[in-house]
Amino acid sequence: MRLLTLFSLLFVALQTYGKELNTQIAFIPDVHFHDIYADFSQSGFKGVKLDSQTKPVAIRSMKAQLHSTRLFNENYFALIAALNDIAERGVKLVALPGDFTDDGQPAHLKGLKALLNDYTKRYDMRFFAIPGNHDPVKPIKTAAGKSDFLNDEGREVAIFSPDHKNCKASQTDALFCDDGIAHGGYQEIVSAMADFGLMPSSQDLLWQTPFTSDHAALSERQYQQCSEDKQHCVMLPDTSYLVEPVAGLWLLAIDANVYLPEFKNNQLTFKGSGNAGYNKVLTEKPYLITWIKQIVSAAKKQNKTLIAFSHFPMGEFYDQQSASIKELYGSDAFQLTREPTNNTQETLAETGLRLHIGGHMHMNDTSLIKTAKNTLYNIQAPSISAYRPAYKLVSIIGSKAKVDTVLLDSIAGFDTLFPAYEKEYSYLAEHNPDEKWLADILDSEDYHQFTLRHLAGLTRWRFIPREWPESFRSVLLSFSFHELLGLYESPINKPLTQHSERVLKGVTLFDFIRDFYLLRNAGTLAFEDIPTTHLKAYKVMAQQLNTMGQCIPKDVGKIAQTVDVCTLQVGLSKALMIFEKLADGENDRCLMIDLNLNANKPAKACRP
């Protein structure tokens, strides 16, 4: 049987030898799949009944979604829409660069596996997954759960795994215990996702791991990971692999998770990998760098087209504005700890890799890392579970790769769960009115608008309180830019024109902060949602603040007593400068990249 398989693969290789490679690969990171139809009924949780015809849903609250950088529920429909779009295009290869599930829970892994198997069967698709920091959250299975599921009356209730401390305490009618909500470890992840790249398939022309044995068993794919003080060491899995799904194309899937072991109360635990990324790969998994170099060298010799993907970014993602962001917002703001250092970026570029597609940041961005002999293009693919929902489509013809961005603005069923959220809103209005969210999100006309309003809510409830300086977090959020200028006696060198006054009156401080996050997340895709009058107002305001000279506050009563308007002037001026730079970043919509590893030609812009 094995001999027959080898002859079949050899026949395929001979048939395609000498032909120009012509194929497409879709990249969908950060799906954060939550199976809204997961069954927790054995634990007593009945879910929310939407109507008499459909199965009850197990969803998390809108309140929870508006405090999270990702949606939990609607991405179920977004993934189906993305896969339908991919099927209509005739694309057969789909990469999932990490965080393909909510938190690696068995219930969601089961639902995702069934969905992917369905598309494999119906459309002959092949999926290639690599873990992210949410799957697994820790390298071993751990007790876990969520306290914000919705019940049928619109109230938040909790579902935890039976071994969680909450389930070991006295239970209430708002607590359910089900092992389907535990956090799966590597064993559970690989067992569920084995057919999607993590284990070899008879269809593969080549499948390798970084380990000399090349055995697929997880027990044979391990490395030693020590704690930061080097006092405790354990063997942990590394699921990295190289696969050749079609002749001439090598997909390099890199498991860049690093989980540092800790001993707390004499028990082994692990730090999460969310902030580790490639900075820790260099120190904790140096063998991966060696392996990548070997693969690049082999790809050159064998004339293979090589594309790498992983969950974490290999390049910076703030258009060279990280230092300015750190100065204004602090070193821990805007997830700066996740950014690879210059040394890390250079080391990765020196491996010879040309194209890497990552996720993790839920951003649409392109960065270039240039060394003497190579340019590494790091493509940050956006998440379909956040603004602005899209995936990356790589079309390969010969040695050229067209990297395109496919928008998911309109998806079927995005409003399916709105009746459940209406129950939640009514419950909050009656029992906890201070926690009501803005109900306009339920008026969204499509998924694009839904994610836009989600980000606006996220800006208000999470980003501003956590990330913006105190001078911005005040009553001034509702002030127009024109009103903000009225807080100063400082002389203005260039008087405002009537047009400039109008545009400054038409935008508030909150509008600017929301637009800032739109641009940060979506790059140039955000310009469809930022009015041109806002962009004009930001330029006028920047000019006024920069020419103002010494700050002389007006005596405006309570404002002068509660807000340091001079600090606001400096901070807003810096924020506007960062906004301008982000708006002028690298091409993040459509790029044509030469993947010939024996040359180093610059990329060119292309039409989507």
DSSP string, 118-187: HHHHHH--EEEEE-BTTBTSSSS-B--EEEEEE-TTS-EEEEE-TTSHHHHS---TTEEE-GGGSB--HH
CB 58 within 8 A of CB 43: no
Task: Let me know how long the chain is.
Answer: 608
Which pLDDT does position 245 carry in this prediction?
A: 98
Which pLDDT does position 4 carry in this prediction?
A: 37
pLDDT (tens digit, 9 = 90+) per residue, 12-55? 444 444 478 999 999 999 999 999 999 999 999 999 999 988 89
Low-confidence ranges of the chain (pLDDT < 50): 1-18
How many angstroms from the chain centroid is the CA of residue 218?
26
Q: What is the mean pLDDT of the chain?
A: 93
Q: Hey, what are 323's tokens? A: 């230092």
Rg, Å, the chain Cα set: 25
DSSP letter string, 562-605 = H--HHHHHHHHHHHHHHHHHHTT-S--SEEEEE--TT--PPPEE
**Which residues, other chains included, contact 271 with Cβ-Cβ below 8 Å and sequence gap of 6+?**
259, 260, 262
Q: Hey, what are 509's tokens? A: 């401080």
* Angle of the 565-582 helix axis to the 322-329 helix axis, nearest 10: 160
Q: Hey, what are 129's tokens? A: 């997954």
Which one, of 374, 350, 249, 352, lies nearest residue 305 by Cα? 249
The rounded distance, in Å, linking the Cα atoms of 139 and 108 is: 17
CA atoms in the 13 A half-sphere facing the CB of 415: 13
Which pLDDT does position 1 carry in this prediction?
A: 37
CB 355 within 8 A of CB 307: yes
Give how far Cα 218 sits from Cα of 252, 276, 288, Å: 18, 22, 17
CB 540 within 8 A of CB 486: no
CB 97 within 8 A of CB 381: yes
The rounded distance, in Å, linking the Cα atoms of 320 and 581 is: 8
User: What stretches of 17-61 show up as alpha helix (H) in DSSP?
Assistant: none
Give how far Cα 289 sits from Cα of 228, 254, 328, 514, 567, Å: 20, 10, 34, 39, 45
The rounded distance, in Å, linking the Cα atoms of 250 and 21 is: 11
CB 103 within 8 A of CB 134: yes
Q: Hey, what are 148's tokens? A: 């914000």
**Helix, strand, coil fractions of the chain, as percent rounded to 5:** 40, 20, 40
- pTM for the full predicted model: 0.95
CB 85 within 8 A of CB 390: no
pLDDT (tens digit, 9 = 90+) per residue, 272-321? 999 999 999 999 999 999 999 999 999 999 999 999 999 999 999 999 99
Strands 365-370, 390-397: pairing is unpaired
Q: How many CB atoms lie within 10 A of CB 4?
A: 8
The rounded distance, in Å, linking the Cα atoms of 24 and 350 is: 26
Q: Is 362 left (phi over 0), alpha (psi -120 to 50) or beta?
A: left
* Full 3-state SS string of 300-314: HHHCCEEEEEECCCC
* Angle of the 532-546 helix axis to the 498-505 helix axis, nearest 10: 110
CB 324 within 8 A of CB 379: no
Which pLDDT does position 113 carry in this prediction?
A: 98
The rounded distance, in Å, linking the Cα atoms of 390 and 408 is: 5
Amino acid (one-letter) located at 108: H
The rounded distance, in Å, linking the Cα atoms of 325 and 372 is: 29
Q: Hey, what are 67's tokens? A: 């405090």
Helix (H, G, I), strand (E, B) or coil at 24: strand
85 backbone dihedrals φ, ψ, rounded to 5°: -65, -40
